[in-house]
Amino acid sequence: MLKTIMSQHDSIRAVEWKDNHLVLLDQRKLPHNEQYVQLYSAEDTAEAIRNMVVRGAPAIGITAAYGLVMAARKCYKQYPSDWRVRLEAEKETLMSARPTAVNLMWALRRMCKELETIDGDPEGPMLELAQKIHQEDIEANYRMGELGSSLIPPSHAVLTHCNTGSLATGGYGTALGVIRSAFSSGKIEHVYADETRPWWQGSRLTAWELVKDKIPAHLVCEGAAASLMKQGKVSWVIVGSDRIAANGDVANKIGTYSLAVNARYHGVKFMVVAPTSTVDMQTATGNDIPIEERPQEEVLNVGNQRIAANHAQAWNPAFDITPASLIDAIVTEKGVVERPTPEKMAVLMAS
């Protein structure tokens, strides 16, 4: 019954396999235009990931898995005797598309492990695995939605950052999945969403998803978050993650760290929601996570319109690191880790 209620707020799919190719909802065009990009190769898929047609760690991983399916099809048709060797270069093209999101590497490694068992044409079994990865992500999001919602006492509202919904995942969402579940069960009445500069994922994407699913929401500038907390308007900050280190440090969209600092000062709880595919036990701490720096034009311009003074320069890290000490709960499909430590993370990942 609960899942039926939750599904009423699950109307969007940004990544789809149709016939023999990949279709992505172009997130650069939202919210005013719903346009789709048709992809037929690993090269085009990597470019779509790099250029933010698709974004969000789980969605990037799923997209890369489908990209490898198309690469395997091409390599097998063109080089049937040594397609595995040829496929390595295609895999590296996908692997290097964005360096911070660990789900991309996780999905490609899982796909490549499947290759070891394949005789003959690889397309069929690889497509089956990519679709399984996609479906597993959706199911994990529903599970995380239930687990995260259970932590939230009835309250007026929560605050979120960036976009962690159906657009960033296989469907339903991670942090936004928790928010959808909490709203469906009457735990919260309202959502505040950071604009999330410089790509405006909050104003362009999260607000679009919330409006589409009829969940009441207000946009706020990042600089307004502390005042919002001081006035007692939110009980939790709920965010996603692009990579979680073995000690519970979290890499997420730039601005997450400042929210965690503000939340701790104001007595607001801080929740990170991500599948275990986002947890990188080979990375000891957040200091070891590579942080992608994107072109400075993204800060100097809005769209194609320059807003900064001529000759001004910009620093544009795409992510920051929130230390585990500022996190009240990490929610995964395997369970919840409260006040994360290396030992608690190890127990979670061994389960």
Asked whether the beta carbons of 236 and 269 are under 8 A apart, the reply is yes
Active site residues: 242
Asked whether the beta carbons of 168 and 59 are under 8 A apart, the reply is yes
At a CB cut-off of 8 Å and minimum separation 6, what does 215 contact?
9, 179, 180, 183, 191
Report the candidate in 171, 266, 211 with the shortest Cα–Cα distance to residue 202: 211
Query: Helix (H, G, I), strand (E, B), or coil: what is residue 213?
Result: coil
> What burial class does residue 155 get, using C-beta atoms within 10 Å of its C-beta: 0-12 exposed, 13-18 middle, 19+ buried?
middle
Q: Residue 327 and residue 249: Cα distance in Å, rounded?
A: 8
The β-bridge partners of 39 are 22
Measured CA to CA in angstroms, residue 226 lies from 181, 188, 234, 267 at distances of 25, 20, 10, 11
- Phi, psi torsion values for 317, nearest 5 degrees: -70, 135
